[in-house]
Amino acid sequence: MPQIQQYHFHSSNLCFLSGQLLSRRLAHTQKARSERFSSTASMNKGPVSVFRRRRALAKALAMVASIITLSARAAQLPFSALPSQTRADPTLFHSGHEPASKLRHALLRISASAHLVHDLARIAEQDAGLDVWNSFRSPCESAHSQDASGALQGCIDLRLVTHGEEAPCEMAASMLQLRDSTKSGEERSIRCRILSRDLGELFSAQIPALKAAASQTQSVEYPEEWLEEYHVVEDIDAHLDHLAEKYPSHVHLRQLGQTWEGRRIRSVTIHSGGIGNGVGESEGRPVPQSTFGNSLRWNRKEYEQAGISAGRKRKVGQQRPLEPHAVVKPRVVVVAGAHAREWIAPAVSLQLMHSLLETLSNAPESALGSELTPRRRRHRSLLETFDLVFVPLLNPDGYAHTWSGIGAVNERDSSSLITMLDARLWRKNRQRTRGSVIGCQGIDIGRGFPAHFASSYNPCSESYSGSEPLAANETIALASLLRPATESDEGKVVAFVDLHSYGQQLTYPPAWSCDAPNRDEEDLEELSIGAASAARRVHGRTWWSGRTCDTLYASTGQAVDFAYDSGIKWSFNLELRDEGEHGFLLPATQILPSAQEAEAALGYILHFVAAKLRGKAPGRGGKH
């Protein structure tokens, strides 16, 4: 590492630690005062004004502490860890005088003993501020990946920006504090492999096709080739309207909420028959676009009034309107696009909806399968048992940001390419946070649910979960969909599948801790093994299964834990292609095969759950 970066790393420690200690002390003091106030305010109105003044002062000091902390973190981190808004000029923060043409986004895979991977992921995300792409506490290279001592190996994939001829693995070792003098025997077994020296080259090869997709004018019919490309938010919305028009008896559109930037969060319910709503959409209650704080308080209040907190029942008179088909059936919720850069998930969800709807029509079989009658029979059987509710794009703001500038980017200009790549790899939503004052914004939707939530202190982190649960409009929208259905006006949600990338894995709760018991683990394990095998049979690719905390790594506030804690036993994360060759920059040619694998896994899940609901032993109904 260049000497100037080594200096910044050491000189900022005192400032960084001071900010951290001040933030934590203020939080502790404010909590203690709140507790004292709650016990005395009812007896004496005198402390009210004093308490409010002290609280206002504490908030002001907390903001100063946050700025101190974040400024120190920015000073101690290299260019790769800074938010894209802060590093608009690529030459501003990196060491030396290398031009932007020498900046490269590198993707590394660091292998270590399985039980050390979680610590490495935490250090990379929280302490080093790196962009962690994936983490596997299960074997990451092969089914029996071991080090020299025989210990099972896991791995972590992370992205960082290198300058000039800097060695990516040496930079990562320094930032993860892997110093020779403190290495234990396990740390000496840590290995680093470069998956990609320059993600810009991988991305630049995709830009011409993305420019064409962003600028094309779509015809009315949407041929199947359209589903084998990535598309902007507006085109996806138009396609959902097209489905409601084309299949009015089988498709029901609903607005679950509204994002910070005013986009609709929509669900698509597919059922076997009845009276659909066509292009008319049942609107959810709009999210007020007022001030930042008032907007969030209003949403949380609505959430609590609807009784969708864990285990609470809704009050009489607060039922949602009846879905527009006569038979109330169990519902299965499939969500995609929580993380903006995971383009494959929304694309696969569109393929899955198309496949199901084609089975209800007289059109020729789609490209997702070659068997005509057996495949359609299986799909119709599923739709006679369940209503399938898709949320094809949970994070439309973040997704739209990943497309920003595609039309104007010059793939031959390194500086332009670096800026566009920053946007393309955006993970969070686009909501304002306390870090907005220094150019950081957005909340990681995937970690903002009330299930074992842990607040984050660094709003510049890609995994920033917010200061409290349900801080994002998107989490509120999904939570409202997953709430316990205790009335007869709608079917109970019996299964939940959250589509993500990458890793080719099917995982189940718990995600927050492997020490947490799971009373349903035997059933969930049996299903996940079968579904992973069904996906594996499609193209012969390796698929993994297991607990989320084991197969990936422990993380709090996940939707899969929230769904399970809300009474949805069959809750899963489905990590789509690939295993790291392209990561989040998966080319569009992978959409169709990825959808075929996802369809096989989802089909197995639904047949398994249907058999359990009927009280029968699951068969091989999910085989595709």
Rounded Cα distance between 448 and 457, Å, is: 14
Element (H, E) at 104: strand 103-113
Can you tell me the distance from the alpha carbon of 432 to that of 253, in angstroms, rounded to the nearest whole number? Answer: 28
For residue 450, is the peptide bond before it cis, meaning its omega torsion is within 30 degrees of 0? no
Residue with the two structure tokens 């589509």 = 499
C-alpha 469/C-alpha 476 separation (Å) is 9
Q: What are phi and psi of 57, to 5 degrees?
A: -65, -40
Residue 379 token pair: 């799909």
Compute the distance between CA of residue 498 and CA of residue 394 in angstroms, rounded to an integer. Answer: 10
- 517's tokens: 């018991």
- The type of residue at 553 is Y
For residues 159 and 80, is the Cβ–Cβ distance under 8 A? Answer: yes
Beta strands in 36-78 (DSSP E): none
Q: Which residues pair with 547 in a beta bridge?
A: 508
Secondary structure element (H or E) that encloses residue 133, with its range: strand 131-136
Q: CA 281: distance to chain centroid?
A: 26
Nearest to 154 by CA among 141, 165, 167: 141
Residue 31 burial class via C-beta count within 10 angstroms: exposed 0-12, middle 13-18, buried 19 and up: exposed
- Among 460, 406, 606, CA closest to 69: 460
Cβ count near 523 (within 10 Å) = 17
Give the type of residue at 114: A
CB neighbours (10 Å) of residue 38? Answer: 10
User: What is the SS3 assignment for 168?
Assistant: helix
Q: Is the dihedral of CA 529, 530, 534, 537 positive or negative?
A: positive
**Are the C-beta atoms of 585 and 199 separated by less than 8 Å?**
yes
CA 427 → CA 131, 219, 437, 441, distances in Å?
10, 31, 19, 11
| Structure token pair of residue 283 | 């609107």
Contact between 476 and 295 under an 8 Å Cβ cutoff? The reply is no
Query: Which neighbouring-strand residues pair with 387?
Result: 331
Q: What DSSP string runs through 251-282?
A: EEEEEEEE-TTS-EEEEEEE-SSS---TT--B
The span from the CA of 355 to the CA of 379, in Å, is: 9
| Other residues' Cβ atoms within 10 Å of the Cβ of residue 81 | 24
Active-site annotation, residues = 575
Sign of CA dihedral 338, 540, 534, 350: positive
- Using CA atoms, how far apart are residues 224 and 364, in angstroms rounded to an integer? 11
The alpha helices in 187-270, defined as continuous H runs, are: 199-204, 207-215, 233-246
